[in-house]
Structure 1
Amino acid sequence: MPKSKKASPFMTFAKERYPNLPINVAVSKAGKEWESMSKEKREKYVEKCKNTLFMVPKRELLTSQGVPISFVEKEKQELIKKEYSMKTEIEDIVISGRDTGNLADITFNFISVNYFSQTADGSIYTPAEIGISAYSLRDGVKNRYHSLVNPLTVPYGHAFETKTHSERTHQLGVPPDVQGETNLKKLYLNCLEFIRENNECGSEYPPLFTHQDEKIVKSVLEVLRSDCYDEEPVLRVYPLRELFFILKRTTSEIGETKPPESKHITNAYLDKDVYEYQVNIACDFHEKKDCAKYCALSCVTRWAYTLSDHLCKDLALDMEPGHHIPKDADCMSYTFSESNFDSSVVTQPKIEREHFNISKSTSLSTIEHFPSLKDSKKKSGRTNNMDNTMTTNSLCDHFDNESSSNPWMRRKISRRPAEESFSIDIGECDEFPRIPSSSGRGLLFSRVVEEAKTSRGRGLAFGD
């Protein structure tokens, strides 16, 4: 609240005497008159100022960059409100699905983008590629949309930055010499149509989830929407890590398994990206360039596989290759009796199978992959009489006992050298070896020995 201050009699006189002059000129002229003025005339202005107050404007506090602190605080409060609204909306979607029993059938849309360049302030990103996938816990990846983008140009002065970024990541090149759709409005309409076909859209489109920087995705969508002249709705983009954490907490409650202690656990699974180098899930361009991990289509598919790996087992859902897991994956390794969610995975090596069966077929497949084990087992005469079902602990004990037949365990065991290696008998040598002195090094060595025997000092001792 601004402070109040009593008016000055002299300033009141100066403003009344010279109302049309600037305050500094009025004060200089009124100063001489005020000094020559009698006390009775001054009393008139003193009485006038006794009950007169004027407001002193409060100085605005600024940051080190010159931005008002009030503006910074206002932006901070707006961000807090947006984040709260986002979390509330995600929780409402998941909780309503849980209460109605159709949580496994809710469709979530994942989006990933690539860009050519960004402006100096990082507010605009030139689109290069976009990928969207429709995913549900029951059906896995139901459908995918992908398109390369050719913006025909990049911001002036950003050609080198575009070339460097492209070579380091997606390898799409530098516009306009790139592949892709040039009609940005058509691309945005295609994205809206894809979302409508795979979701029950009412008056509002469902949010899109990404594990990238939301700022980049929002900027790319805004550039695509710029040719629509604000006729089409704005798509909301939310972080995938929030959805994963809320989903995992809910499925753990339904499946009566251990819930995540914090969202850092679920974030670690997304950051780990175990399917990063999975083939045949990217677009044809990136598969040929052998840089599939940067493909937007590959990203949205890998995120879906990661969520399936940690959520479907809580709801006892079957995982279908090509939808929940890669096509060439072993389905048996994904069929657990309990959730494979374990907080220790962040600090300890991940054991892919917690409960699985070991039968004769497993032993035969092991021998096929390691032919040398066939002979070693015959020599050792050991047989595998284990039960059909084994836990992880009993499996580790088995490998400790059978280290001789396990090539990976055998690599870690360092063999102690034989005792004979440390006892070397070099015999006794009383005189120099006889070296032929006819020519070459033998003649030179003979001369050195003769000189050493006949010289003084060290040579004399050497000769003795």
Structure 2
Amino acid sequence: MPKKQRNAFYFFMLDKQQQLREQGKVVSMKDMPVIAAAEWNKLPEAQKEHYKLRAKHEKAAGGGGAGVNPLPRPGRLDNTGIPLSERVDVVAELEERRRVERELLKKEWHGKDVIFLKFYFVAFQYLCHVEDVDRHLRYPPVEMALMEYSLKEGRQKVWHTLIHPGRIPTGFRYQAKLHSEQTHEIPPEGLDKQSVSDYRSLVDGMMKFVSHDHTGFPPLFVKKESAFVAECCLQWLSFMAGLRENPFCKVYELNGLFMDLSAHIGGAGLSRFEVSDLLSTFKYDHELGLRCSYHEDLENNNCALGEVNKYCFVMSDTLCPLYKVSLTKNHLPLESNTGIGDMLQLKPLSLKETDLGDKQQFKPQGVQQVPTRPVGRGRGILCLNAEDIRKPH
């Protein structure tokens, strides 16, 4: 006998049930309608659209029809006490979630010239993987970078900060030290006078950085394999800031954006494997100024600022020619006629603890001029303020 078709409200109840489980509350599906009904009725139509698309996709895929495995017999439990009839395929759910996110994003592109759209990249370095704790505490961040990017203008502004990871969880000091030595080399105890510990002001600064209208916060894009860590880091920051909800709940895979932008111009676009290879390139690892000053001194490429810069370079190098956008120093390092290249290095907006407070001032730290000289592959850097990008030369 075919399954009953699941509607949008059913998928909303699934998400709500998962939230309750993360809070340590086990609620059966038969009790969820009473719990979720009031919240569903107050949900804006824009958010309901997410669940309607999931229901529509399941129907199109043949959900509830022939060829679909029947649900397990009611009453049977797995080894965690969850009814088998309510057990969720986590991988399938994640893939479906990513697919819906991409569909909603592409829907917003209708009637717009995508080369002018702003996208926000995010990257983190973390203390270590802390097991057997709540989701929002699994990956305490030690470094973060945000970038505003568009195909037309390239990098518009960049924000970078080191983060104090708080007290090292009991039993994880060795793992934290080992992870630091093998990756970013930021001390597990943080860096004095550099690692920010005012988490509320940090989150407020992030919200100010990405908010440019009144339609809510835009999605943050991160490489696919780093998406879960980024979500955990953002939840950790919101938790440490004392917020009841994480304002940065939309963390999208950069791989999907890359594929969709390549196909939007027409044609099949790039494949998942091609995008993965492009985002894993080492081509720009030796660019002077790619990384923050701390990692530049250590010549360490495990840098959050370096990661978002590479996102910009790879997407610009691949997509701008498709959209007939002229490449500039905002997009990627350029070769000069003399064989020595230069790159426009946006001075990252820093969040100093002495600057925290109601004013929330995030200003570039002045202009730094670095002489052009052969370094690595023979490249130098011209360091300017973000405002200088828009000045005619």
- Greater Rg, structure 1 or structure 2? 1
Sort the Cα spacing of 1:229 and 1:266 in 2 relative to 1 into closer, same or farther, 3 A: closer
Other-structure match for 1:228: 242
SS of residue in 2 equivalent to 1:268 = helix
Q: Residue 71 in 1 paired to residue 86 in 2?
A: yes
Q: CA deviation at 1:120?
A: 1.3
Q: Cα–Cα, structure 1 residues 320 and 176, in superposed 2: closer, same or farther, change >3 Å?
A: closer
Equivalent position of 2:332 in the other structure: 325
1:388 maps to: none
| Aligned twin of 1:120 | 131
Q: Aligned pair in 2 of structure 1 residues 176, 130: CA closer, same or farther (>3 Å)?
A: closer
The answer for unaligned runs of 5 or more in structure 1 is 2-56, 334-368, 370-464
Tell me how far apart the structure 1 counterparts of residues 310 and 84 of structure 2 sit (CA, whole Å).
42
State the Cα deviation string for residues 48-90 of structure 1 (Å, max 9, x = none). Answer: xxxxxxxxx9541536x77543332375665454223212122
SS in structure 1 opposite 2:280? helix
Aligned residue type for 1:171 = E
Kept in 2: contact 1:273–1:306 (CA 8 A): no
Q: Deviations over 1:258-279 (max 9, x none)?
A: 6436222222211224213322
1:12-31 correspondence to structure 2 within 5 Å = none
- CA deviation after TM superposition for structure 1 residue 215, in Å: 1.3
Of 260, 264, 267, which aligns to 2:269? 260
Take 1:92 and 1:162, find their aligned partners in 2: how far apart are those partners?
A: 42
For residues 249 and 270 of structure 2, the distance between their equivalents in structure 1, rounded to whole angstroms, comes to: 31
| Conserved 8 A contact 2:165-2:188 | no
Asked if the contact 1:153/1:176 (under 8 Å) is kept, the reply is no
Q: How far did residue 231 of structure 1 move?
A: 6.5
Distance 1:115 1:315, change over 3 A: same
Is residue 286 of structure 2 the alignment partner of residue 272 of structure 1? Answer: no
Superposition pairs for residues 295-444 of structure 1, below 5 Å? Answer: 295-321=303-329, 323-326=330-333, 329-330=335-336
Q: Which has the larger share of helix?
A: 1
Q: How far apart are the structure 2 equivalents of 1:276 and 1:172?
A: 19
Of 171, 174, 183, 1:169 maps to: 183
Report % sequence identity.
24
Counterpart in the other structure of 1:135: 149
Structure 2 unaligned runs (5+)? 2-72, 340-377, 379-393
Once the two structures are TM-superposed, the CA of residue 235 in structure 1 deviates from its matched residue by 3.6
Instruction: Look up the match of 2:298.
Output: 289
C-alpha displacement of 1:300? 0.3
In the aligned structure 2, how far is the partner of 1:261 from the partner of 1:129?
Answer: 31
What CA distance in whole angstroms lies between the structure 2 residues aligned with 1:289 and 1:300? 19
The answer to whether the 8 Å contact 2:144/2:304 transfers is yes
Q: d(CA) in 2 for partners of 1:173 and 1:269?
A: 31
Please tell me whether the aligned partners of residues 263 and 270 of structure 2 are also in contact (alpha carbons under 8 angstroms): no
Q: Which residue of 1 aligns with 2:222?
A: 210
Q: Deviations over 1:79-122 (max 9, x none)?
A: 454223212122223x32xx33x211101000000111222147
What are the Cα deviations for residues 228-259 of structure 1, in whole angstroms up to 9, with x where unaligned?
332772341011000000001113x2xxxx64
- The 1:201/1:331 distance shift into structure 2, 3 A limit, reads farther
Q: What do the CA deviations read for 1:122-142 (whole angstroms, capped 9, x no partner)?
A: 732111000000000111011
Find the residue that maps to 1:213 and give its secondary structure: helix
Paired residues of 1:312 and 1:319 also in contact (CA < 8 A): yes
Letter of the 1:174 counterpart: P
* Secondary structure of residue in 2 paired with 1:272: coil
In structure 2, give the amino acid aligned to 1:317: V
Alignment partner, residue 410 of structure 1: none
User: How far apart are residue 304 of structure 1 and its match?
Assistant: 0.6
Contact 1:87 1:242 in 2 (8 A): yes
- Mapped to 2, the partners of 1:167 and 1:181 lie a distance apart of 21
Q: How far apart are the structure 2 equivalents of 1:275 and 1:108?
A: 21
RMSD across aligned C-alpha pairs, in angstroms?
A: 2.8
1:82 aligns with 2:97: yes
SS in 1 for 2:128: strand
Higher RCO, 1 vs 2 (CA within 8 Å, ≥6 residues apart): 2
Q: How many residues are matched?
A: 263
Bigger Cα displacement from structure 2, 208-217 vs 225-234: 225-234
TM-score, normalization by structure 1 = 0.52
Secondary structure of 2:127's match?
strand
Is 2:188 the partner of 1:182? no
**Alignment correspondent of 1:49:** none
- Checking the alignment, whether the CA contact within 8 Å between 2:180 and 2:187 is kept in structure 1 is yes
Alignment of 1:151-162 (within 5 A): 151-162=165-176
Q: Could you tell me the TM-score, scaled by structure 2's length?
A: 0.61
Q: Cα deviations across residues 145-165 of structure 1 (Å, max 9, x unaligned)? A: 000001331111110000000
- State the distance in 1 between where 2:168 and 2:95 align: 34
Deviations 1:326-380 (A, max 9, x none): 2x534899xxxxxxxxxxxxxxxxxxxxxxxxxxxxxxxxxxx9xxxxxxxxxxx
Deviations 1:262-321 (A, max 9, x none): 222222211224213322121111111110x21101100111110000111112111112
